[in-house]
Chain A
Amino acid sequence: MLSLKHIRKSFDREEVLRDVSLQVRHGEVVSILGPSGSGKTTLLRCLDFLERADGGELTLDDLHVDLAHAKRRDVLAMRRRTAFVFQNYNLFANKTARENVMEGLVTARGVSPDEARKKAEEALAWVGLLDKAGEYPSRLSGGQQQRIGIARAVVLDPEVIFLDEPTSALDPELVGEVLNVIREVARRGIAMIIVTHEMAFAREVSHHVVFMEGGRVIEEGPPEQIFSQPREERTRTFLKRYLTDSNMYYI
């Protein structure tokens, strides 16, 4: 359904993505793991044109775009069929929770305000925050903000959602509530690409796991294989270090 081919991106002279290709099928959850600076976040940002890739192709069903030369119309078309969940939530600070979820529907997709309000409240109820519909983001906890961020993405009925380290900015005790909501998204059969450091969660929720390092895909496969029998030495080293390190964070 979603296919990316030969994506390249450099910042100044630093090559951040070196020929990355990836496939996502309908309803499939793909997790991207890898050390800091491996290009995971940049890859996701290139897919939503928040960064402009130097080369590569993106195909979403019938929509085919050249990432480096996409016209404004193609960029908009791609963005209107996908959604993005940010590490820092990025809820619109001048809008209430309800207005945040309505914004894309009303302004980008031309849904009537009444219908958008209904859909927004359904989405907020679905993430368990209907009682906060009238609150501004500054009054909400990080976990609540991120759940609204997910509601804002899901309400658009996207074909795929990109999630960029959705729990990395959260206090440890708030991670669980956000992961629960992401599980629900997966259960709904919405395709996702998740950049994450939550290894146990990635293992549980993903259909496919990708390990990146140095701007390249080092290894990919089903989660059982990547986590239990990684073929590549670098994957093994990363997982070993990460699993011991992440245990230590919580002591």
Chain B
Amino acid sequence: MEALFSWQRFWADVPLLLPYFLVTVKIVFWGIGVGLVLGIVLACLRLRHLAWLEPILHIYVSFMRGTPMLVQLLIIFYGLPLVLAAVGVQEAVRWDKMVFVYAAFALNETAFLSEIFRSAILAVPAGQLEAAYAVGLTRWQAYRRIVLPQAWRIALPGFGADFIALFHGTSLAFLVGVIDIMGRAQALGASTHHALEGYLFVALLFIVCSLGLRVGFNYLDRRLAYGR
């Protein structure tokens, strides 16, 4: 009988798996990229307590933070094309399916990051905004130059943790048929009857990347210390 685990198979799997890591990176890229922009916009909107908008945004954020990522992924992946088709974007059902995977992660990130940024903006002392107004800055200038840079500094640890969580969370995508590195490892396991080596490589790759990200965020944290 063959050994359950062999280093030979492990090394043979590496070149088969590694290219699919790009799929994971793409999901993280779109999730964080779109989530960051929309999250900051959402945080700023919610801080203005707009009467008609606030209940909608509140429900959105609560839903995204209160339901499992997998549920959201399934709903958005299968449901969003139908919704888009229903509102007149018929060609949505023919789009690259990856668009809906990116959308699922981006919409989820938007909710989580908006809360991280909302609390960070609230943590910037009110006097900073007042001083900006007093030297003649407009609201937009005051936020862009004074409040948001300081909020960014406060949000950084939370953002780093969220980034790493998203990175791990992308492995769910294989459940809707995306061949990312996780999906590829499973497929490889199924066809060769030796899954362990592939999974081990995926685990090691995620550990190395997580540690790398953490080092990067710690470095940013020190760089942005503003003398403290």
Instruction: Enumerate chain A interface residues (CB-CB to B < 8 A).
Output: 48-50, 76, 79-80, 83-84, 86, 88, 90-95, 103-104, 107-109, 135-139, 152, 156
The distance in angstroms between the C-alpha atoms of A149 and B132, with both chains bound, is 12
Q: Identify which of B54-62, B136-144, B156-164, B187-195 touches chain A.
A: B136-144
The distance in angstroms between the C-alpha atoms of A88 and B128, with both chains bound, is 10
Instruction: Give the number of residues in B that approach A within 8 Å (Cβ atoms).
Output: 21
Residue B170, interface by CB 8 Å: no
Instruction: Enumerate chain B interface residues (CB-CB to A < 8 A).
Output: 125, 127-128, 130-138, 141, 145-146, 149-150, 153, 226-228
| Given A80-B136, A92-B132, 4 more pairs with CB closer than 8 A | A86-B127, A94-B149, A94-B153, A108-B137
Known: A90-B130, A94-B226. A107 touches B150 (CB 8 A): no
- A79 and B133 within 8 A (CB): yes
The distance in angstroms between the C-alpha atoms of A49 and B128, with both chains bound, is 15
The distance in angstroms between the C-alpha atoms of A84 and B130, with both chains bound, is 9
Minimum CB–CB distance from B143 to chain A (whole Å) comes to 12
Residue from A88, A94, A104, A136 in contact with B135 in the complex, judged by beta carbons closer than 8 Å? A104
Minimum CB–CB distance from A60 to chain B (whole Å) comes to 14
Interface of B is mostly: helix
- Which chain B positions have C-beta within 8 A of A109? 136
The distance in angstroms between the C-alpha atoms of A49 and B135, with both chains bound, is 12
Known: A88-B127, A107-B141, A107-B145. A93 touches B136 (CB 8 A): no
The distance in angstroms between the C-alpha atoms of A103 and B134, with both chains bound, is 11
Known: A50-B130, A86-B130, A103-B145. A93 touches B150 (CB 8 A): yes
Known: A76-B136, A80-B136, A94-B146. A137 touches B227 (CB 8 A): yes
List the A residue with the shortest CB-CB distance to B131: A90
Most buried by A among B125, B137, B149: B137
- A48 and B134 within 8 A (CB): yes
- Which chain A positions have C-beta within 8 A of B149? 94
Known: A93-B150, A156-B136. A138 touches B128 (CB 8 A): no
Minimum CB–CB distance from A28 to chain B (whole Å) comes to 21
